[in-house]
Amino acid sequence: MFSPVDKTSYRGNAFYFVQLICEGLPLSLQERKDLQSHQGKVTLPATKGVIGLDLGPSTIAIVSEETASLHQFCRGLKEHQKELRKLQRKLDRQRRANNPQNFDKQGKVKLGLKKWVSSSRQRETQVQASELSRTTAAHRKSLHGELINKNIPLGSEIHLEKLSYRSFQKNFGKSVGNRAPGMFIERLKRKALNACGSVIEFSPFQTRLSQTCICGKREKKALSQRIHQCQCGVEAQRDLFSAYLARFVQGDRLNVAAAKESWIGAETLLRTTFEWKCQTASSGDYPASFGISKKILEKSGLSAKEGTKPRLRKPNDETGDVVNSGITPGMRAQESQMEFPFRTPRL
């Protein structure tokens, strides 16, 4: 059978697509795994560990057993949105100039039936805006795929909160529209399934990872508080800590004992990841959700206006992931002398 004809535009020209759909039942996960193994096309995860993922409107934190990373979600789309906004404002000016009879004295559109006239220049601007929207969507899709392909081999299970993207759109409409976190999660599920892995979502109302500490204490935090600090002595960046706790969620319950037991090795990993972000930060080069304020940079001896050279070991790639392996005794001694950016110096 054939699906309905799909129409799209490319550089002002219309293109039509028809998709052929074969009727039948899909293969089960085990049958698909056996078939891919027989054909040599299966992409199995490198490890059997669990990945914790914390996704926000503009930030994504990923923590596995050996790596941790904190990224600005779809950072490369920033320039596209600036150019698109200029075209949209230009298009609005042209529309108002060509149809002054459709607007009142306050500049609002009149009620009732109206006839709209468009000039050739207005149509050219519309084509430019449509083409830029298309390229932005393609770039966003490539950024999603790059992030997914990079993190799927880290483990066979990906744990994350089951978020309400309608609530995201209500509170962070512009950011969600640019980055499309819901589309990212759907693609993550499909690619994890093809790699014989799984994505497990749990209720945030039951776990409350952003309010929970490994000591079992729960404290409600304001959204502007990006650093997790507890009386038991645990201090970490909020998104990274939530992603770490997500690794120990079973069902809809957090295994506090397992998280506390593994915290000794993970504390240095999360602290090093956040320190790296502080050292590579420059003015306006990071979102407020990272929690990198001027006060934190001053305590860590860094400048908020100019980027600084890293003092720790360089991550394993350009994405900023810090690997908790291959650490020499000299590196550990160097890390032990550095204080967490928001921690007061020990006397």
SS (H, E, C) the chain: CECCCEEEEECCEEEEECCECCCCCCCCHHHHHHHHHHHCCCCCCCCCCEEEEEECCCEEEEECCCEEEEEECCHHHHHHHHHHHHHHHHHHHHHHHHCHHHECCCCCECCCCCCCCCCHHHHHHHHHHHHHHHHHHHHHHHHHHHHHHHHHHHCCEEEEECCCHHHHHHHCHHHHHHHCHHHHHHHHHHHHHHCCCEEEEECHHHHCHHHECCCCCECCCCCCCCEEECCCCCEEEHHHHHHHHHCCEECCEECHHHHHHHHHHHHHHHHHHHHHHHHCCCCCCCCHHHCCCHHHHHHCCCCCCCCCCCCCCCCCCCCCCEECCCCCHHHHHHHHHCCCCCCCCCC
Q: Is the whole model's pTM more than 0.85, yes or no?
A: no
Whether residue 1 is predicted with pLDDT greater than 60 in this model: the reply is: no
Tell me the domain boundaries of the chain: 6-100+118-337
CA distance 254 to 148: 25
pLDDT at res. 212: 87
CA distance 269 to 321: 10
Q: What tens digit of pLDDT does each residue of 79-127 get?
A: 788 888 999 999 999 999 999 999 998 989 999 898 999 999 999 999 9
CA distance 176 to 220: 24
Q: What tens digit of pLDDT does each residue of 37-86 get?
A: 666 655 555 456 889 999 888 888 999 888 888 888 888 787 788 888 99
What average pLDDT does range 15-23 have in this prediction?
A: 77
Q: Which of 146-150, 239-243, 320-324 has the lowest mean pLDDT?
A: 320-324
What average pLDDT does range 282-290 have in this prediction?
A: 63
Whole-number percent of the chain with pLDDT over 90: 15
pLDDT at res. 94: 95
What average pLDDT does range 120-135 have in this prediction?
A: 91
Check residues 303 and 41 and name the one with the higher pLDDT: 41
How big is the chain, counted in residues?
A: 347
pLDDT at res. 233: 84
Average pLDDT, the chain: 77
pLDDT at res. 6: 66
> Which band of pLDDT confidence, cut at 50, 70 and 90, is reported for residue 339?
very low
> Which band of pLDDT confidence, cut at 50, 70 and 90, is reported for residue 306?
very low
Cβ atoms 335, 272 nearer than 8 A: yes
> Which band of pLDDT confidence, cut at 50, 70 and 90, is reported for residue 29?
low
Q: What tens digit of pLDDT does each residue of 203-223 get?
A: 888 888 888 888 888 888 888
pLDDT at res. 117: 93
Q: CB count, 10 Å around CB of 132?
A: 17
